[in-house]
Amino acid sequence: MLNINRALKQTRFCLTLTDLGPEEFLDFLPGFTEALKRKKKRGYESNPDHERSIEVDRKGFVPSASDKLFFVLFYDKCYPTYNVGTFFYNCNSSNAMKRQKYLSGILE
């Protein structure tokens, strides 16, 4: 997985990979985190027969909200193929595609 802390420490890397500076990324993160929680909650509310509670859901290949934001911004800025994305994030291409589409919907 990409080391986002390294990118956030160097403005040049952060701008190259996400099109946001470190301060902008950190300013954008709380709003993205809230939107992510709302979308997840709506998903659980729309499916009352969900097997797990919202707090016990399985961890994906992009675990934290900051990782998710970096993942989608990296994809939108650099537009790698899903195969290249799977190399950086150690997942299969179908998971990378699903996650990118899901997280891009949150950014809108």
Residue-wise pLDDT for 76-89, tens only, equals 888 777 777 777 77
pLDDT of 27 above 90: yes
pLDDT of 28 above 80: yes
Residue-wise pLDDT for 29-58, tens only, equals 999 999 988 888 877 666 666 565 555 555
CA distance 63 to 11: 23
- Cβ atoms of 77 and 19 within 8 Å: the answer is yes
pLDDT of 102 above 60: yes
Q: Give residue 50's pLDDT.
A: 59
Q: Give residue 22's pLDDT.
A: 95
pTM for this predicted structure? 0.76
| Residue where the block lists tokens 């420490």 | 9
**Is the Cα dihedral 21, 38, 62, 59 positive or negative?**
positive
At 52, list the tokens.
């797990």
Q: Give residue 29's pLDDT.
A: 95
At 74, list the tokens.
């990296």
At 51, list the tokens.
């097997």
- Count CA within 13 A, CB hemisphere, residue 44: 13
- 55: phi then psi, degrees, rounded to nearest 5: -80, -20
